[in-house]
């Protein structure tokens, strides 16, 4: 299903009504959010910023590595959308920004961990400026794409919902 809605931009992605509705349509079981900000929707939440109120305050990759293979039903995946945003997040927390945190492998490493922890049949809700999601090469099929237009010169938010393929024995 592909749909398009309009909503005012908000730095807290899951507070945007059409995105929030999409998340709740697909949220089930054990859920994790490695970039929770102030959202407490998931069962396990993480954010670099200790002021956000998440259960964990660690690097997202380290957070994802806490979970066993095939142990999660839903991942809410709303990482920084660009290398500039990654750099801003790290600098705000007094952390070092280097090549590892601003190159494409930053997102590829995160996606590999997400793919590892999601159960067959589980879902990932990815928010970004593109519809790449976790990807077919990682064993996921697209279930839904939601385009949220914010108007004016604001970038749209693209929500890609994917389901992990069942294991073939």
More confident residue, 31 or 98: 31
Residue-averaged pLDDT of the chain? 87
In a domain, 142, yes or no: yes
Q: Total domain count for the chain?
A: 1
CATH number of the domain bearing residue 132: 3.40.50.150
Per the structure, the complete domain to which residue 131 belongs is given by 2-164
% of the chain residues with pLDDT over 90:
60
In a domain, 169, yes or no: no
Strands in 44-117 per DSSP E? 44-45, 72-77
What is the model's pTM? 0.86
In a domain, 63, yes or no: yes
pLDDT by residue (tens digit) across 92-137? 756 676 666 556 677 799 999 999 999 999 999 999 988 999 999 9
pLDDT by residue (tens digit) across 87-97? 565 567 566 76
Q: Which residues 6+ apart lie within 8 Å of 103 measured at CB?
A: 83
More confident residue, 34 or 52: 34
DSSP state of 147: E
């Amino acid at each position: 299903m592909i749909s398009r809605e309009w909503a005012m931009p908000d730095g807290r992605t899951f507070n945007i009504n059409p995105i929030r509705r999409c998340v709740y349509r697909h949220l089930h079981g054990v859920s994790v959010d490695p970039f929770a900000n102030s959202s407490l929707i998931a069962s396990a939440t993480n954010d670099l910023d200790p002021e956000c109120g998440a259960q964990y305050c660690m690097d997202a990759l380290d957070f994802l590595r806490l979970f066993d293979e095939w142990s999660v039903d839903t991942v809410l995946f709303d990482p920084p959308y660009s290398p500039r945003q990654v750099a801003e997040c790290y600098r705000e927390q007094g952390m070092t920004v280097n090549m590892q945190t601003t190159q494409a492998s930053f997102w590829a490493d995160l996606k590999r961990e997400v793919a590892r922890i999601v159960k067959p049949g589980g879902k990932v809700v990815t928010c970004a400026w593109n519809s790449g999601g976790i990807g077919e090469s990682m064993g996921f099929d697209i279930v839904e794409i939601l385009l949220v237009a914010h108007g004016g010169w604001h970038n749209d938010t693209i929500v890609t919902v994917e389901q992990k393929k069942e294991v073939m024995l």
